[in-house]
Amino acid sequence: MVYQIYPRSFADSDGDGIGDLGGIAQRLGHIHALGVDVIWLSPVYRSPQVDNGYDISDYRDIDPLFGTLAQFDELLTEVHRLGMKLVMDLVVNHTSDEHPWFVESRSSREHPKRDWYVWRDAREGAEPNNWASFFSGSAWTWDDTTGQYYLHLFDRRQPDLNWENPEVRKAVHDTMSWWLDRGVDGFRMDVINFISKVDGLPDARPVPGQRFVSALDRFADGPRVHDYLAEMRREVFGSRDAEFITVGEMPGVTTEQARLYTDPARGELDMVFQFEHMSIEQAPNDKYVFAGLDLVALKKSLHRWQAALADAGWNSLYWNNHDQPRVVSRFGDDSPEYWAASAKALGTVLHGMRGTPFVYQGEELGMTNFPFRSAQDFVDLEAVNYHRGVLDGGGDAAAALAGLAHFSRDNARTPMQWEPGPNAGFTTGEPWLAVNPNHSWLNAAAQVDDGDSVFAHYRALIRLRHELPVLVDGDLTPLWEEDPQIWAYVRRTAGTALLVVANCGRDRRTVDVGPEWLTAELVLGNLAGTPAAIESTGLHLGGWDARIYVKGRQSYPNQVR
Ligand code: ISL
């Protein structure tokens, strides 16, 4: 399994209020104790930090905010010494506008690097097409010096690279090789399915009342993306013997495309991050509008991905990352009574599936959303721009605030909660983003040695994956898919069967699992006093009760609760 660190919010060693490499080094023991195989580090490269490091101005240096290359090398050595691997974030759909490549590109139309980015003339005195930026407004910005627009799918300070240009691709390959030579073990590739845009950059289908519209189908899984990834695999990894990890972050990717990207026979990527289950309760045209949570739809979505990549390709499994609200507040129940049980139950149903599980910092503690109150509480540029956009358009400010509180990326980015004391032990200075007040009781110190904690449950889930091949290889058959409260499925290999079942609600439920499971053994439960065997009267589940049973082995060597 993979553990994601968002360095800015993980641990601060120098008191400037921003997490850093020194802080990570001090806290590696926590990650190791969880049983982590691979660490994915969100960007630590040199960056103006407009998008917290997803705007890179030098791919071959560490931002002074986070430390130095020497510190990075030390950290990598220590990660390896502990038997873990380290995966870097590769952000190459775009650079920062302060990257020397862009500075040169914008300097004149004749500059050799002009074509490294996407420049276009105005169309009838306005933007070249109607594409919206993910961060509000147009995806184009006018540049006075040379009298053309440049493309940026994200912020105007994140210009898109032109992947059609072979020199750009070569520069990316060289950068990757440079990090592999330093010893890193692979890459998580930011919005990598956006790198090939549809020829001619045609308008997206207009939406009444919107000047700029989402144009996903004009650049997601575009015409040459598979060629580019196959080429990258050949050029960067082809001559190396070691095993590397490649994960493509792919908003809008379909199951059919994901199969192509991750089919080992095609040699592109090991796995992709898909987003279908992350938009399940968001309105189609506005991610900040809550459209109601439908557990059946959530289950069906993840099960559909399980089925689609069952015999070719490979899934990644995640509830959280630095762009998503906290799962226990989102799909769980963060009330005092059910907070721990629901955090564990959600972990159970995710980690029981087929694929590689990812845990985002703090998820292993059941960290919750932040109690945002006012617009000033948000610092993420996506949130700030959204709020401004709603106000400028005369929209409902209170509704916008409620949507932001629920879905804002800042929910994921509040500092890691290490201790009950000042600033949760994250920093001795002033934290760059407020610490969640619930750190007084929700923190690592309170959990790591407590056998009943969310942390202990995550550790048990991770240990099970290392011990039970059926969790890795077994196929998956959903049970009671139409049930709005029970999430259950069976994993099976030739010799072993595993039943994963969770009651995703407060009301008690009894389910009839059938006589086949009466002989099964409990290997993991999330509530005290869970009976060791299923009763003949059925499986009686308390609120947010989650269990894993195994069958087909005489005895199970390492029983964990
Ligand atoms: O935030 C989102 C989830 O709803 C997406 O719109 C997100 O921007 C998208 O998934 C791409 O994310 C990645 O690239 C962005 C960066 O801001 C995100 O942090 C990163 O994960 C641009 O580099």
Predicted confidence (pLDDT) per residue in 33-88, tens digit: 999 999 999 999 999 999 999 999 999 999 999 999 999 999 999 999 999 999 99
pLDDT of residue 553: 67
Q: Which atom of ligand 1 is nearest to the CA of 321?
A: 21
- Report the side by side order of strands in the sheet with 148-151: 119-120, 148-151, 140-143
Has this prediction a pTM greater than 0.75?
yes
CA dihedral 102, 103, 105, 109 (to 10 degrees): 150
Q: Give backbone dihedrals phi and psi of 100, rounded to 5 degrees, phi first.
A: -55, -30
Give 242's pLDDT tier (boundaries 50, 70, 90): confident
Rounded mean pLDDT of the chain?
Answer: 96
C-beta of residue 525 within 8 angstroms of C-beta of residue 510: no
Tell me, using a 6 A CB cutoff, whether residue 190 lines ligand 1.
yes
The fold for domain 2-95+165-374+413-457 equals TIM Barrel (3.20.20)
Joined together, the tokens standing for residue 529 give: 């006093």
Q: 322 alpha carbon to ligand 1 midpoint, in Å?
A: 9
Tell me, using a 6 A CB cutoff, whether residue 410 lines ligand 1.
no
Q: Which atom of ligand 1 is nearest to the CA of 407?
A: 4
Give 561's pLDDT tier (boundaries 50, 70, 90): very low
Instruction: Measure the CA–CA gap between 66 and 357, rounded to whole angstroms.
Output: 27
Joined together, the tokens standing for residue 397 give: 């400010």
* Identity of the residue numbered 169: R
| Nearest residue (CA) to ligand 1, atom 15 | 54
β-pair type (186-189, 271-273):
unpaired
The fold for domain 100-151 equals Oligo-1,6-glucosidase; domain 2 (3.90.400)
Instruction: Measure the CA–CA gap between 41 and 74, rounded to whole angstroms.
Output: 15
Joined together, the tokens standing for residue 518 give: 């009466």
Instruction: Measure the CA–CA gap between 409 and 434, rounded to whole angstroms.
Output: 14
Catalytic residue among 185, 249, 410, 545: 249
Instruction: Measure the CA–CA gap between 477 and 474, rounded to whole angstroms.
Output: 10
Q: 89 alpha carbon to ligand 1 midpoint, in Å?
A: 12
Catalytic residue among 190, 281, 380, 410: 190
Q: 197 alpha carbon to ligand 1 midpoint, in Å?
A: 18
- Which of 85-99, 361-375, 531-545 comes out lowest in average pLDDT? 531-545
Helices (H), 317-415: 327-330, 339-351, 381-392, 397-407, 410-413
Question: The tokens 């065997």 sit on which residue?
Answer: 533
Enumerate residues 6+ apart whose C-beta is below 8 A from 21: 7, 13, 44, 62, 66, 67, 68, 71, 72, 75
Helix 225-232 / helix 255-262 crossing angle, nearest 10 deg: 20
Q: Determine whether 334 is an active site residue.
A: no
Give 529's pLDDT tier (boundaries 50, 70, 90): confident
The residue ranking higher by pLDDT, 209 or 541, is 541
Q: Residue 292: which region, alpha, beta or left (left: phi > 0; alpha: psi -120 to 50)?
A: left
- CA-nearest of 19, 129, 116 to 75 is 19
Length of the chain: 561
Instruction: Measure the CA–CA gap between 508 and 496, rounded to whole angstroms.
Output: 29
Per-residue pLDDT tens digits for 294-342 = 999 999 999 999 999 999 999 999 999 999 999 999 999 999 999 999 9
Radius of gyration of the chain (CA): 24
Three-class SS of residue 150?
strand
* CATH architecture entry for 474-551: Sandwich (2.60)
Question: The tokens 């099964």 sit on which residue?
Answer: 520
Three-class SS of residue 206?
coil
Question: The tokens 């994960």 sit on which residue?
Answer: 247
Q: Which atom of ligand 1 is nearest to the CA of 251?
A: 10
pLDDT tops 60 at residue 150: yes
Longest dimension (CA), the chain: 79
Tell me, using a 6 A CB cutoff, whether residue 407 lines ligand 1.
no
3-state helix, strand, coil split of the chain in percent (to 5) is 35, 20, 50
Query: HSE on the CB side for 344, CA within 13 Å?
Result: 26
Joined together, the tokens standing for residue 456 give: 């202990």
Whole-angstrom distance between the N-terminal and C-terminal Cα of the chain?
A: 20
Q: Determine whether 249 is an active site residue.
A: yes
Question: In the predicted model, what is the mean pLDDT of residues 374-380?
Answer: 97
Tell me, using a 6 A CB cutoff, whether residue 40 lines ligand 1.
no
225-242: string of b/e by CB count within 10 Å (b at 16+)? bbebbebbbebbbeeeee
